[in-house]
Amino acid sequence: MSFDALLWLSFGGPEGPDDVMPFLENVTRGRGVPRERLESVAEHYQHFGGVSPINELNRRGIKAVEAELDAQRIQLPVYFGNRNWQPYAEDAVAAMAADGVRRAMVFPTSAYGGYSSCRQYDEDITRAREAVPGAPELVKLRHFFDHPLFVESFADAVVAARARLGVAGEQARLVFTAHSIPVSADAAAGPPEEGGGRYSRQVREAARLVAERVGASEHDVVWQSRSGPPSVPWLEPDIVDHIEALHADGVTAVVVCPIGFVSDHIEVIWDLDNEAAERAAELGMGFARAATPNDDPRYARLVVELAREHLSDAPVRRLSDASSGGCTVNGAPCAPGCCEPPRRRA
Protein backbone atom coordinates (compact mmCIF):
# COMPACT_ATOMS: atom_id res chain seq x y z
CA MET A 1 0.00 0.00 0.00
CA SER A 2 1.21 3.47 -0.80
CA PHE A 3 1.52 6.64 1.22
CA ASP A 4 -0.24 9.91 0.49
CA ALA A 5 1.41 12.36 2.91
CA LEU A 6 4.30 13.07 5.27
CA LEU A 7 3.76 14.48 8.75
CA TRP A 8 6.63 16.54 10.21
CA LEU A 9 6.19 15.98 13.94
CA SER A 10 8.09 18.22 16.33
CA PHE A 11 8.29 19.59 19.85
CA GLY A 12 6.69 23.01 19.33
CA GLY A 13 7.53 26.31 20.99
CA PRO A 14 5.89 29.59 21.99
CA GLU A 15 5.25 32.29 19.36
CA GLY A 16 4.95 35.27 21.72
CA PRO A 17 5.27 36.39 25.38
CA ASP A 18 1.78 35.23 26.37
CA ASP A 19 2.39 31.74 25.00
CA VAL A 20 5.42 31.03 27.18
CA MET A 21 3.79 29.88 30.45
CA PRO A 22 0.99 27.85 28.80
CA PHE A 23 3.63 26.21 26.58
CA LEU A 24 5.84 25.35 29.57
CA GLU A 25 2.81 23.94 31.37
CA ASN A 26 2.11 21.72 28.36
CA VAL A 27 5.71 20.48 28.35
CA THR A 28 5.98 19.74 32.05
CA ARG A 29 2.46 18.63 33.00
CA GLY A 30 2.76 15.85 35.58
CA ARG A 31 6.56 15.68 35.40
CA GLY A 32 7.64 17.16 38.70
CA VAL A 33 9.73 19.99 37.22
CA PRO A 34 10.27 22.52 40.05
CA ARG A 35 8.46 25.88 39.76
CA GLU A 36 11.78 27.81 40.01
CA ARG A 37 13.13 25.91 37.04
CA LEU A 38 10.01 26.81 35.01
CA GLU A 39 10.36 30.46 35.93
CA SER A 40 13.99 30.60 34.90
CA VAL A 41 13.26 28.78 31.64
CA ALA A 42 10.40 31.24 31.00
CA GLU A 43 12.99 34.03 31.28
CA HIS A 44 15.16 32.35 28.63
CA TYR A 45 12.20 32.47 26.25
CA GLN A 46 11.36 36.07 27.22
CA HIS A 47 14.92 37.08 26.22
CA PHE A 48 13.83 36.23 22.70
CA GLY A 49 10.53 38.10 22.92
CA GLY A 50 8.73 34.93 23.98
CA VAL A 51 9.32 33.43 20.54
CA SER A 52 11.16 30.14 20.22
CA PRO A 53 13.08 29.83 16.98
CA ILE A 54 11.95 26.21 16.72
CA ASN A 55 8.73 26.85 14.79
CA GLU A 56 10.39 28.96 12.11
CA LEU A 57 13.25 26.42 11.88
CA ASN A 58 10.72 23.63 11.40
CA ARG A 59 8.88 25.63 8.73
CA ARG A 60 12.19 26.15 6.90
CA GLY A 61 13.05 22.48 7.27
CA ILE A 62 9.68 21.58 5.77
CA LYS A 63 10.26 23.96 2.83
CA ALA A 64 13.61 22.30 2.19
CA VAL A 65 11.98 18.85 2.27
CA GLU A 66 9.22 19.99 -0.09
CA ALA A 67 11.87 21.26 -2.50
CA GLU A 68 13.77 17.96 -2.26
CA LEU A 69 10.60 15.92 -2.85
CA ASP A 70 9.90 18.09 -5.88
CA ALA A 71 13.43 17.64 -7.20
CA GLN A 72 13.06 13.87 -6.85
CA ARG A 73 9.59 14.01 -8.45
CA ILE A 74 7.93 12.50 -5.40
CA GLN A 75 4.40 13.74 -4.87
CA LEU A 76 3.84 13.85 -1.14
CA PRO A 77 2.19 16.77 0.66
CA VAL A 78 3.90 17.66 3.97
CA TYR A 79 1.89 18.49 7.09
CA PHE A 80 3.23 20.08 10.29
CA GLY A 81 2.22 19.20 13.85
CA ASN A 82 3.72 19.53 17.33
CA ARG A 83 3.51 17.98 20.76
CA ASN A 84 3.44 21.11 22.88
CA TRP A 85 2.20 24.03 20.79
CA GLN A 86 0.23 25.06 17.71
CA PRO A 87 -0.05 23.67 15.19
CA TYR A 88 -0.67 20.60 17.37
CA ALA A 89 -0.32 17.07 16.04
CA GLU A 90 -4.11 16.81 16.40
CA ASP A 91 -4.58 19.80 14.06
CA ALA A 92 -2.30 18.25 11.46
CA VAL A 93 -4.02 14.85 11.65
CA ALA A 94 -7.43 16.55 11.37
CA ALA A 95 -6.23 18.43 8.27
CA MET A 96 -4.94 15.20 6.76
CA ALA A 97 -8.24 13.43 7.40
CA ALA A 98 -10.14 16.35 5.85
CA ASP A 99 -7.90 16.17 2.77
CA GLY A 100 -8.62 12.47 2.39
CA VAL A 101 -5.18 11.22 3.48
CA ARG A 102 -5.45 7.49 4.26
CA ARG A 103 -1.88 6.59 5.13
CA ALA A 104 1.07 8.84 5.98
CA MET A 105 4.65 8.62 7.12
CA VAL A 106 5.71 10.59 10.19
CA PHE A 107 9.12 12.25 10.48
CA PRO A 108 9.88 12.98 14.15
CA THR A 109 12.47 15.73 14.65
CA SER A 110 14.66 13.60 16.88
CA ALA A 111 17.35 11.17 15.77
CA TYR A 112 17.38 8.95 18.85
CA GLY A 113 15.56 6.38 20.91
CA GLY A 114 14.47 6.98 24.50
CA TYR A 115 11.23 8.13 26.08
CA SER A 116 11.45 11.88 25.30
CA SER A 117 13.00 11.43 21.89
CA CYS A 118 11.05 8.45 20.54
CA ARG A 119 8.26 6.96 22.60
CA GLN A 120 6.73 10.31 23.54
CA TYR A 121 6.35 11.01 19.80
CA ASP A 122 4.57 7.65 19.56
CA GLU A 123 2.23 8.85 22.30
CA ASP A 124 1.63 12.06 20.32
CA ILE A 125 0.66 9.95 17.31
CA THR A 126 -1.72 7.82 19.37
CA ARG A 127 -3.33 10.86 21.01
CA ALA A 128 -3.73 12.72 17.74
CA ARG A 129 -5.33 9.72 16.03
CA GLU A 130 -7.72 9.19 18.93
CA ALA A 131 -8.83 12.82 18.66
CA VAL A 132 -9.67 12.60 14.95
CA PRO A 133 -12.40 10.36 13.52
CA GLY A 134 -11.19 8.80 10.27
CA ALA A 135 -7.54 9.56 11.11
CA PRO A 136 -5.04 8.15 8.61
CA GLU A 137 -2.73 5.27 9.41
CA LEU A 138 0.57 6.77 10.60
CA VAL A 139 3.92 5.07 10.08
CA LYS A 140 6.79 6.67 12.00
CA LEU A 141 10.23 6.80 10.37
CA ARG A 142 13.24 5.24 12.08
CA HIS A 143 16.03 6.65 14.26
CA PHE A 144 18.69 8.37 12.13
CA PHE A 145 21.56 9.10 14.55
CA ASP A 146 23.94 6.95 12.47
CA HIS A 147 22.72 7.89 9.00
CA PRO A 148 25.64 9.04 6.80
CA LEU A 149 23.86 12.30 5.89
CA PHE A 150 23.29 13.17 9.56
CA VAL A 151 26.92 12.41 10.40
CA GLU A 152 28.26 14.34 7.39
CA SER A 153 26.19 17.40 8.19
CA PHE A 154 27.51 17.56 11.77
CA ALA A 155 31.06 16.75 10.69
CA ASP A 156 31.11 19.71 8.28
CA ALA A 157 29.66 21.93 11.00
CA VAL A 158 32.46 20.88 13.37
CA VAL A 159 35.08 21.69 10.72
CA ALA A 160 33.48 25.13 10.20
CA ALA A 161 33.37 25.80 13.96
CA ARG A 162 37.04 24.83 14.29
CA ALA A 163 37.91 27.23 11.47
CA ARG A 164 36.14 30.08 13.27
CA LEU A 165 38.55 29.60 16.19
CA GLY A 166 41.53 30.09 13.88
CA VAL A 167 44.80 28.66 15.18
CA ALA A 168 43.16 27.78 18.51
CA GLY A 169 40.81 25.52 16.56
CA GLU A 170 43.57 23.00 15.93
CA GLN A 171 44.11 22.56 19.68
CA ALA A 172 40.44 22.78 20.63
CA ARG A 173 38.85 19.86 22.46
CA LEU A 174 35.82 18.45 20.65
CA VAL A 175 32.86 18.20 23.05
CA PHE A 176 29.54 16.68 22.01
CA THR A 177 26.39 17.53 23.90
CA ALA A 178 22.85 16.18 24.02
CA HIS A 179 19.82 16.81 26.20
CA SER A 180 20.26 15.25 29.62
CA ILE A 181 17.52 12.90 30.80
CA PRO A 182 16.97 11.25 34.17
CA VAL A 183 19.37 8.32 34.71
CA SER A 184 16.25 6.18 35.27
CA ALA A 185 14.90 7.20 31.84
CA ASP A 186 18.15 6.18 30.17
CA ALA A 187 18.08 2.89 32.07
CA ALA A 188 14.57 2.30 30.65
CA ALA A 189 15.57 3.27 27.09
CA GLY A 190 15.29 0.47 24.56
CA PRO A 191 13.65 -2.94 24.66
CA PRO A 192 14.01 -4.44 28.17
CA GLU A 193 16.09 -7.39 26.95
CA GLU A 194 18.81 -4.96 25.83
CA GLY A 195 19.34 -3.87 29.42
CA GLY A 196 18.70 -0.13 28.87
CA GLY A 197 20.86 2.80 27.84
CA ARG A 198 19.68 2.97 24.21
CA TYR A 199 19.58 6.79 24.26
CA SER A 200 23.04 7.42 25.72
CA ARG A 201 24.56 4.65 23.58
CA GLN A 202 23.12 6.10 20.37
CA VAL A 203 24.34 9.59 21.34
CA ARG A 204 27.85 8.23 22.02
CA GLU A 205 27.78 6.35 18.74
CA ALA A 206 26.78 9.43 16.71
CA ALA A 207 29.51 11.43 18.48
CA ARG A 208 32.09 8.75 17.71
CA LEU A 209 31.11 8.71 14.03
CA VAL A 210 31.38 12.50 13.72
CA ALA A 211 34.67 12.60 15.65
CA GLU A 212 36.09 9.89 13.40
CA ARG A 213 35.03 11.75 10.27
CA VAL A 214 36.72 15.00 11.35
CA GLY A 215 39.85 13.13 12.46
CA ALA A 216 39.61 14.17 16.12
CA SER A 217 42.06 12.26 18.30
CA GLU A 218 39.90 12.70 21.40
CA HIS A 219 36.38 13.81 22.13
CA ASP A 220 33.96 13.94 25.04
CA VAL A 221 30.23 13.35 25.33
CA VAL A 222 28.43 15.50 27.89
CA TRP A 223 24.86 16.60 28.66
CA GLN A 224 22.90 19.81 28.93
CA SER A 225 19.62 21.45 29.92
CA ARG A 226 18.74 19.23 32.89
CA SER A 227 15.49 20.24 34.51
CA GLY A 228 14.55 17.85 37.30
CA PRO A 229 14.88 18.51 41.02
CA PRO A 230 18.50 18.16 42.26
CA SER A 231 17.51 15.05 44.24
CA VAL A 232 16.88 13.12 40.99
CA PRO A 233 20.03 11.96 39.16
CA TRP A 234 20.28 12.98 35.48
CA LEU A 235 22.97 12.10 32.94
CA GLU A 236 26.23 13.92 33.73
CA PRO A 237 28.59 15.71 33.40
CA ASP A 238 26.82 18.93 32.52
CA ILE A 239 28.41 20.95 29.69
CA VAL A 240 29.24 23.93 31.90
CA ASP A 241 30.84 21.78 34.64
CA HIS A 242 32.76 19.97 31.94
CA ILE A 243 34.14 23.20 30.48
CA GLU A 244 35.40 24.09 33.97
CA ALA A 245 37.02 20.67 34.35
CA LEU A 246 38.72 20.98 30.95
CA HIS A 247 40.02 24.40 31.94
CA ALA A 248 41.46 22.93 35.14
CA ASP A 249 43.20 20.32 32.94
CA GLY A 250 44.83 23.04 30.85
CA VAL A 251 42.55 22.85 27.78
CA THR A 252 42.46 26.30 26.14
CA ALA A 253 39.64 26.01 23.59
CA VAL A 254 36.53 23.94 22.92
CA VAL A 255 34.40 23.16 19.91
CA VAL A 256 30.93 22.23 21.13
CA CYS A 257 28.79 20.06 18.85
CA PRO A 258 25.09 19.75 19.82
CA ILE A 259 24.75 16.25 18.39
CA GLY A 260 21.53 15.67 20.36
CA PHE A 261 19.50 18.22 18.39
CA VAL A 262 18.46 18.87 14.81
CA SER A 263 17.92 22.65 14.97
CA ASP A 264 19.25 25.76 16.70
CA HIS A 265 16.30 26.10 19.08
CA ILE A 266 16.24 27.68 22.54
CA GLU A 267 18.11 24.91 24.33
CA VAL A 268 20.97 25.36 21.87
CA ILE A 269 21.05 29.16 21.62
CA TRP A 270 20.49 29.74 25.35
CA ASP A 271 22.22 26.88 27.13
CA LEU A 272 25.19 26.75 24.73
CA ASP A 273 25.59 30.09 22.93
CA ASN A 274 24.79 31.94 26.11
CA GLU A 275 25.58 30.00 29.29
CA ALA A 276 28.35 27.69 28.12
CA ALA A 277 29.97 30.34 25.91
CA GLU A 278 29.91 32.85 28.76
CA ARG A 279 31.59 30.44 31.17
CA ALA A 280 34.28 29.64 28.61
CA ALA A 281 34.89 33.38 28.07
CA GLU A 282 35.21 33.96 31.84
CA LEU A 283 37.84 31.22 31.90
CA GLY A 284 39.64 32.74 28.93
CA MET A 285 38.94 29.71 26.76
CA GLY A 286 38.23 29.74 23.05
CA PHE A 287 34.67 28.60 22.28
CA ALA A 288 32.88 27.77 19.05
CA ARG A 289 29.56 25.99 18.69
CA ALA A 290 28.92 23.82 15.66
CA ALA A 291 25.65 24.35 13.79
CA THR A 292 22.84 21.79 13.90
CA PRO A 293 21.35 20.47 10.62
CA ASN A 294 18.63 23.20 10.45
CA ASP A 295 18.03 23.69 6.73
CA ASP A 296 21.20 21.96 5.53
CA PRO A 297 20.10 20.41 2.21
CA ARG A 298 21.58 17.11 3.43
CA TYR A 299 19.06 17.06 6.27
CA ALA A 300 16.22 17.46 3.76
CA ARG A 301 17.78 14.70 1.67
CA LEU A 302 17.99 12.52 4.77
CA VAL A 303 14.27 12.97 5.45
CA VAL A 304 13.40 12.09 1.86
CA GLU A 305 15.75 9.11 1.93
CA LEU A 306 14.09 7.77 5.11
CA ALA A 307 10.74 8.16 3.36
CA ARG A 308 12.07 6.37 0.28
CA GLU A 309 12.98 3.37 2.42
CA HIS A 310 9.19 2.89 2.53
CA LEU A 311 8.17 4.33 -0.84
CA SER A 312 10.67 2.63 -3.09
CA ASP A 313 12.72 0.24 -0.96
CA ALA A 314 15.70 2.60 -0.82
CA PRO A 315 18.59 0.86 0.98
CA VAL A 316 18.75 1.41 4.74
CA ARG A 317 22.04 3.30 5.13
CA ARG A 318 23.62 3.16 8.58
CA LEU A 319 27.18 3.67 9.80
CA SER A 320 26.88 1.67 13.01
CA ASP A 321 25.31 -1.49 14.30
CA ALA A 322 24.07 0.10 17.53
CA SER A 323 20.58 -0.98 18.50
CA SER A 324 18.01 1.17 16.78
CA GLY A 325 14.29 1.39 16.15
CA GLY A 326 11.59 4.05 15.98
CA CYS A 327 9.66 2.75 13.00
CA THR A 328 6.21 1.71 14.22
CA VAL A 329 2.58 2.02 13.13
CA ASN A 330 -0.07 4.19 14.82
CA GLY A 331 2.03 5.03 17.87
CA ALA A 332 2.92 1.49 18.94
CA PRO A 333 6.12 1.23 21.01
CA CYS A 334 9.18 -0.24 19.22
CA ALA A 335 8.85 -3.39 21.33
CA PRO A 336 6.85 -4.43 24.40
CA GLY A 337 8.14 -2.38 27.35
CA CYS A 338 10.44 -0.25 25.16
CA CYS A 339 11.31 3.17 26.65
CA GLU A 340 8.58 2.96 29.30
CA PRO A 341 7.30 6.40 30.31
CA PRO A 342 8.54 7.83 33.61
CA ARG A 343 6.20 7.57 36.58
CA ARG A 344 3.89 10.58 36.53
CA ARG A 345 3.70 12.83 39.57
CA ALA A 346 0.51 14.43 40.87
Ligand X SMILES: CC1=C(CCC(=O)O)c2cc3nc(cc4[nH]c(cc5[nH]c(cc1n2)c(C)c5CCC(=O)O)c(CCC(=O)O)c4C)C(CCC(=O)O)=C3C
The Cα 120–Cα 191 span in angstroms is 15
Give the one residue of 16, 18, 22, 31 binding ligand X; rule: CB under 6 A: 31
**Residues of span 78-137 touching ligand X by CB under 6 A:** 109-110, 116-117
Shortest Å distance, C-beta 283 to ligand X: 25
Q: Which is nearer to ligand X, 143 or 162 (CB)?
A: 143
Give the one residue of 4, 26, 33, 137 binding ligand X; rule: CB under 6 A: 33
**Residues of span 201-260 touching ligand X by CB under 6 A:** 225, 227, 260
- 41 lies in the site for ligand X, by CB under 6 A: yes
- 179 lies in the site for ligand X, by CB under 6 A: yes
Known binding residue 47? Answer is: no
Q: Which is nearer to ligand X, 102 or 127 (CB)?
A: 127
Q: Which is nearer to ligand X, 41 or 302 (CB)?
A: 41
Q: Which is nearer to ligand X, 3 or 115 (CB)?
A: 115
Give the list of residues 6+ apart from residue 137 with CB closer than 8 angstroms, or none: 102, 103, 104, 329, 330
Q: Which is nearer to ligand X, 101 or 239 (CB)?
A: 239
Shortest Å distance, C-beta 312 to ligand X: 28
Give the one residue of 6, 9, 24, 334 binding ligand X; rule: CB under 6 A: 24
Q: How many residues bind ligand X (CB under 6 A)?
A: 24
Q: Which is nearer to ligand X, 82 or 169 (CB)?
A: 82
- 58 lies in the site for ligand X, by CB under 6 A: no
Shortest Å distance, C-beta 231 to ligand X: 14
Map the chain to HEC letters: CCCCEEEEEECCCCECHHHHHHHHHHHHCCCCCCHHHHHHHHHHHHHCCCECCHHHHHHHHHHHHHHHHHHCCCCCCEEEEECCCCCEHHHHHHHHHHCCCCEEEEEECCCCCCHHHHHHHHHHHHHHHHHCCCCCEEEECCCCCCCHHHHHHHHHHHHHHHHHCCHHHHHCEEEEEEECCEHHHHHCCCCHHHCCCHHHHHHHHHHHHHHHHCCCCCEEEEEECCCCCCCCCECCCEHHHHHHHHHHCCCCEEEEECCCCCCCCHHHHHHHHHHHHHHHHHCCCEEEECCCCCCCHHHHHHHHHHHHHHHCCCCCCCCCCCCCCCCCECCCCCCCCCCCCCCCCC
The Cα 196–Cα 178 span in angstroms is 18
Give the one residue of 265, 279, 298, 301 binding ligand X; rule: CB under 6 A: 265
Shortest Å distance, C-beta 46 to ligand X: 12
- 28 lies in the site for ligand X, by CB under 6 A: yes
Closest-by-Cβ residue to ligand X is 227
**Residues of span 284-323 touching ligand X by CB under 6 A:** none
The CA dihedral of 162, 168, 170, 174, to the nearest 10 degrees, is -60
The Cα 81–Cα 11 span in angstroms is 9
- 52 lies in the site for ligand X, by CB under 6 A: yes
Known binding residue 52? Answer is: yes
Q: Which is nearer to ligand X, 11 or 144 (CB)?
A: 11
Q: Which is nearer to ligand X, 159 or 183 (CB)?
A: 183
CA distances (Å), origin 113, targets 119, 124, 260, 303: 8, 15, 11, 17
Known binding residue 267? Answer is: yes
Known binding residue 179? Answer is: yes
Task: Enumerate the known binding-site residues for Fe-coproporphyrin III.
Answer: 52, 121
Task: Enumerate the known binding-site residues for Fe(2+).
Answer: 179, 267
Task: Enumerate the known binding-site residues.
Answer: 52, 121, 179, 267
Q: Which residues bind ligand X (CB under 6 A)?
A: 11, 13, 24, 27-28, 31, 33, 37, 41, 52-54, 109-110, 116-117, 179, 181, 225, 227, 260, 265-267
